[in-house]
Every structure is written in structure tokens, then in C-alpha cells.
Amino acid sequence: MLIIVAPGQGAQTPGFLAPWLEDPTFAERLHWMSVVAGIDLAHYGTEADAETIRDTAIAQPLLVASAMVSALSLFPHPADAFGKIGAVAGHSVGELAAAAGARAISGEQAMVLVRERGKAMAQAAAATPTGMTAVLGGDAEEVQAALAKHGLTAANVNATGQIVAAGTLEQLEALAAEPPAKARLMPLSVAGAFHTEHMAPAVGVLAELAKAVSTHDPRTPLISNRDGKIVHDGRDVVRRIVTQVANPVRWDLCMETMRDLGVTGILEMPPAGTLTGIAKRALPGVETFALKTPDQLDAARDFVDKHGTQSALDVNPTWRLLVSPSKGTFARAAGDEGDSLAPASTIGTVRSTRDETAVYAPHGGTIVEWLVEDGDLVSPGQPLVRLHPEGVSA
């Protein structure tokens, strides 16, 4: 099982795109993304210094464009990828690149969204002096208690022993003066308290913009930052990307889902290294590949061939599959084969030790075939039922 991941803000380094831009095709594609983003991505990826590309309005478009364009270098014929990739995920802003890779939205839509996301988050960050600090190690309950005491938010829960606290600079200073036992604090070079209530104004900006975004159901299972669930409704993908701006990133739950899926290989798109580093510690036995430079492309394709498996989602279906969002027990709520479902009908729920999640048929349709029984144990992304759109004969 192969999973492709895209990194989030903070992964960028000065000059990381220089070797990629030696390829004229890559340069042409990046130029197109620059036109959509309204900034010179080639300049910022090759010549700008670390402080310049720390700017949220620059870093975010740079990261999303880099992941998307390098994916086209890895898969010259994009349709080939759908038969090999078991799932995709992106950390924070990387989720936009993952959504485009899964074909839930287009690359151009991803660039417009990230352009406005970066601007809006930068403006929100400028309103109040805020920041983020990595909390490494310590007892998990004690760390959470310390954050609550000082009014901080666990904005990123990346793995066991790796939490990012976010809030005002005063709150972070108070945490530094009274850190949790056996925990190491590392202030991060970011512009503000991302994924907290301080970013609420940016959510409003994106929500308005998202109303005009046309979506498709992902062709590859997409693992959501919000809760590690598999999302198979394009509209829900965009809703989650919008609200995620002011809500914590649960990368730990994303990796739990990867484990449940049976991941054997994780490939990280450029600028790679951060997410594969986390995976090495959190998912022992899973092979990782950090794609950093174009001279690694042949080795990366070998890695894809080694771990790639056929996706359960057909690229051009004449029917729709509804899949399980998580691991758990399926409780069926809909009817029998041949019955008609209205749009947004609930077909059942998936119950786990952590929560219970309803599964909807966003477009409705006619039940063609149940692929699981009531009470069956299901895994993330497992097909549950096959539907024909209304008006299409079986």
C-alpha cells in the first residue's frame, strides 16, 4: 500500500526548487502556477532567502505548487497514478495539493485557494502578535494540561511526543517559563498561531471563495487532517480544507489511518523530509521516500512500483462507490438492492472505540449492490455500497 503525502508550511528551504527548474517542462508548469498565484514562484523557490519565504502569503503557494508540479514529473501520465496510489494526505496547506492530486479539485483551483488562504492567514496573523512552539517529549496528559493552563491550543498533534502549541506571544512566554516536565520547547519560525481561533477571519474569506469551487469525488482516498477520516465527497473535502485553517491538524490520526490501511510505503513530495521523518518514528517498519531532487525520480518510480496497489476506486465509473471513513463496525441504515436513495441520505454508521461517523450518499442514487453486511468490521476506504445515479439504468 503506497501513500503519497505533501508537506506543510515550514518545510520550505532557500533554493530548494533550483535543480527542478533545470527541466524546461517543470519550469513551464511552475510558470503557469505563478500566473495563477500572482507571484513569481521560480524566484522564491531559487533566489529568495529564508526570511522572505517564511512569509505566509509566499510560503503557502510555493509549497502547494511545488508538490503538484513535481507530482507531474513523477507521474508523466497522471492517469497511471490512480492504479498505484492507495491514499493521499497533506499536512495543513499540503492538503490542497493532496486534494488536487486526488482530482477533487483542479490544480488551478488549488492555487487560487492557497493564494487567498495565504493572504488571509497573513492578515489574521498581523492582527495580534501570535506564534507557535513545538513541545517535544513529556507526558501527553501533562503537556495538554500545561497548554490548557496558559490558554494555548494544540494546533498540530503530529505524533506521540510531538505537539505544536499556538497562541499569543504572552501565552507562549508563560509556557516557556513553566514548561511541562521532561518536555523540550522549540519556538517555530512562523508568522502566527495557525490552526487556532486567531485564524477565524481567514475561514470567512475562504468560505465565500469556496462557494464557487466546482468539485469532484476524489479518485484516490483522501485522508483528512481534521480527524484522520477517509473523505470521498468532493464538497466535504473543500469544506474541511476551509475550516481546517482555524482548527488543529491531527496528523497523528492521519497516521493511524495509514496504519489501518496497511501502508507499506510513504512517499513525500518536495520539499520533502519532514513528514517522512515523523513516519520513521511513528510507523516503524514502513518504508519512506523523501523526494527532494529530480535525480531521485527514477528511484522514486521504483518505490512506487514496489508499494503501489490497485485502488478500489474506479477512475471512470458508471456508478458511485461509498466508502468507509474509518476503521470500525458498520451499522446499516439504508434499504435493499434496487431501493432509491435521496441526496444526502444516511446509509449507515461506522462505530469505533473513538467515535461514531455517519456515512452519507451525497448525490443519492439506486442501490445496486451492498458490499458489506450489517455488523461487519470495515477498514478505512473500504467500499460499502455501489450506487447508480438516478436515471442511469443498471
Q: Looking at the chain, which residues constitute the CATH 3.30.70.250 domain(s)?
A: 127-187
Q: Among 181, 175, 190, 199, which residue's Cα sits nearest to residue 120?
A: 199
SS (H, E, C) 84-127: CCCEEEECCCHHHHHHHHCCCCCHHHHHHHHHHHHHHHHHHHHH
The three cell numbers of residue 158 are 503530529
Q: Is 119's pLDDT higher than 70?
A: yes
User: What does each C-alpha distance from 141 to 144, 165, 184, 196 come to in angstroms?
Assistant: 5, 14, 15, 20
Write the class of the CATH domain 127-187: alpha beta
What proportion of the chain, given as a percentage, has pLDDT over 70?
Answer: 96
Q: Looking at the chain, which residues constitute the CATH 3.40.366.10 domain(s)?
A: 2-124+197-307
Q: Looking at the chain, which residues constitute the CATH 2.40.50.100 domain(s)?
A: 320-388
Q: What is the pLDDT, as a whole number, of residue 214?
A: 92
Q: What is the CATH number of domain 320-388?
A: 2.40.50.100
pLDDT tens digits, one per residue of 91-103: 999 999 999 999 9
Q: What is the pLDDT, as a whole number, of residue 389?
A: 81
Q: What's the whole-number mean pLDDT along residues 41-59?
A: 95
What architecture (CATH level 2) is domain 2-124+197-307?
A: 3-Layer(aba) Sandwich (3.40)
Q: What is the pLDDT, as a whole number, of residue 392?
A: 42
The β-bridge partners of 87 are 3
Catalytic residue among 92, 311, 324, 326: 92
Which residue would you say has higher pLDDT here, 335 or 287? 287
Q: What's the whole-number mean pLDDT along residues 290-299?
A: 97
C-alpha 367, offset from chain centre: 30
- Would you call 77 a catalytic residue per the annotation? no
Q: What's the whole-number mean pLDDT along residues 24-44?
A: 97
Band of pLDDT at residue 311, cut at 50, 70 and 90 = low
Q: Is 328's pLDDT higher than 50?
A: yes
Which residue would you say has higher pLDDT here, 149 or 315? 149
Band of pLDDT at residue 312, cut at 50, 70 and 90 = low
Which residues, including other chains, have CB under 8 Å from residue 394's CB and lie 6 or more apart?
Answer: 366, 368, 388
Catalytic residue among 34, 66, 150, 195: 195
- Would you call 91 a catalytic residue per the annotation? no
pLDDT tens digits, one per residue of 131-175: 999 999 999 999 999 999 999 999 999 988 899 999 999 999 999
